[in-house]
Structure 1
Amino acid sequence: MIGNARMSQKYPTSSSRKRSPLSSGKYSAIGLLAYCRPGFEAECAQELQNIASLQFVYGYSKIEKGSGVVFWRCSQGNALDVYKEIEVSRCIFARQVFCALHDLEIEDPTDRVSPVVEALRAGGAFGFLHIETPLEDEAGSLQKLAKKLTAPMSAALRNAGILSKAKSEELPQLHLVCLSGQHIIAGLAIYPNSSALPLGIPRLRFRNEAPSRSALKIEEAFLTMLTPAEREFVLKRGQRGVDLGAAPGGWTWYMVTQGVKMTAVDHGALQQELLEDPAVTYVSDDGYVYKPQKKVDWVVCDIVDKPKRTMERMADWLCYDWTTYALFNLKLPMKTRMDEVEACLQRLQERLLGADIESEVRVKQLYHDREEVTVLALTGHFLTAFQKH
């Protein structure tokens, strides 16, 4: 029997969450500004356009390849309406998104404060100021400029009544993005539409005992793809999991630190400390061939292979009821990366529908990902516990 697989909407709308507390009458928006992994600007731009199209708002993107910045300019409709429907944690390629209010060219480099104040004077108020640059210039001049501007800009905005005297979470946050010494974009952010993390990047510390830096990837996935309450529900001490393609053991190591008893599957060598850990069972086998003797709570997989092959095997684990949750990476081709992601997700949805399995699937290109995206598939009691619709 064909059932309904409850897939997470790729571009979520307000029907699935509380509407953003913004009034388009107070803030005049010209577009969206997004940060992504350098080299993925085209995919991020396509994602923004897809979100806008669902609201019947249209525009065009200005990108500089390798910059990690996408400026989507609205040409028809209200950009604020698009921003209200965004939740950045549900975007795939955008790690940070906020609503662009003004695109400012600074004529006098000795006075960058006055043009910003004048541009914002007629709009609404803000609860906090962020001055930042997503660009990595070798001399660090833009970072120095952002730091230098913070004190005088804050004072001027407060004196003009644009910035609240004390930090307020009830008001939108003001972002001033320095794209050059003469180019500043002013934008607003509220959460969860935007990320509360600086530049949308989590600051994680690599632990020397971890077998590889891939441990940061799985740590980021659990921290950013789940809320604290969701994470507490799905990741518990005493659970059992399987790591396919485990060597040298970064993902296995992380899961063990969370109290999960792991079976590490790989023909390659596992870190010696993990081999000696009583919470780890090592199996020398092909990750795409291995089958568990009984159902587990988690399967995780970071195998370097064609994305469709990985997706099919993860669908096997979910559809054959070998696992409740799955976390895995899809390695993307150099071209048609967005098409590949959409094709894989469509195939997973078909498999889950055919197996009459309700699920929530989330996809994100993490900061610690490279030419890949991370997929989180949730089934079982998670859906009823968190009332996903």
Structure 2
Amino acid sequence: MKRLRFVLKSILTVIAVMSIVSLFWTAAYFITEALYTQFAWRPHPLVRQIISSILGFLLFGMTMSAISPFLRKREKVFWQHLIDAINRIAKGDFRVNLQADWGGRNHPFAELVTRINDMAANLQAMEEMRQEFISNVSHEIGSPLTSIRGFARALKNEDLSREQRLHYLDIIETECVRLSKLSENLLRLAMLDSDHYPFHPTSYRLDTQLQTLILHCEPQWAEKELNMCVLFEKVIITADEDLLSQVWLNLIHNAIKFTPKGGTITIQLQRRGEQAIVTVSDTGPGINEHDQLRIFERFYKADKSRHRAAGGSGLGLSIAKKIVDIHHGIISVQSQPGEGATFTVELPVHGPVS
């Protein structure tokens, strides 16, 4: 289709050029004939042809010379706007939206403008993400530091009882652990983003891994008297076992965290063709549709069910998604407010090799 458009455009260009040239040569012919009649001169046909050709060239050249300043001025304005836009982008101002009308969307200048506008839009989106990321990191770090500073100052009070001191020290220790986990998660995300994270896929029983991790989490779900429903098929998968364990632990911990006392958590594993399907369902408060669209973003927390009081930094699901992406898989969520949430992970049985 593109080739056909190119051929048609070339043909139309040739026709247009020939028409313009013919127009000037026709004008030159009638001018010379008028001069011959005026001066009663009848030159040889060859001389007539040469004179008409020369006059046609002169008319064409003078017309182009008269028009070219306007064309050059238009191009000069275009290039000046382009340079200004590039300078703004270089200085960090990505709110650029160039306008150009150069004979249709297929014109090279129009395509150049479109590419620059797209680049500026992408850079603006990245800058907004960077600023939001920095703001979130500052907030996540600032909150526990404020608590640590406040309770450390309170410990200077010599009138505190032993129980109060221990209570304050427990809070300081909890906030330090929170900072440590945040630092570890940020470092893990940075390494995953840089593609330098060690990736060692092996063949192993996925159902055995899930059973082991559920047993490790038994103190947490047993303390809340949760019903743990497990439905596993025997599935052998080729993947990085250590990386995937972070995915499963994150989903299990979230399910435990947001399921009320006496609720139910259901974890299923089955194989569909060449895909291993893992679902983790809870009977918690659920997630509304708006939050589901952003639940895997870094530092994002749903306003109601995933609030700060429940703990966490909002990085766990981001890390889980990154690890699933590395394995060429898909992670998704389905939920209705008040009806719990179901996280589904689809992984190829024969995953990528290192």
Q: Name the one with the larger helix percent.
A: 2
Q: Which has the higher contact order (CA 8 A, sep 6+)?
A: 1
Tell me if TM exceeds 0.5: no
Greater Cα radius of gyration, structure 1 or 2 = 2
TM-score scaled by length of structure 2: 0.23
Q: Name the one with the larger strand percent.
A: 1
TM-score scaled by length of structure 1: 0.22
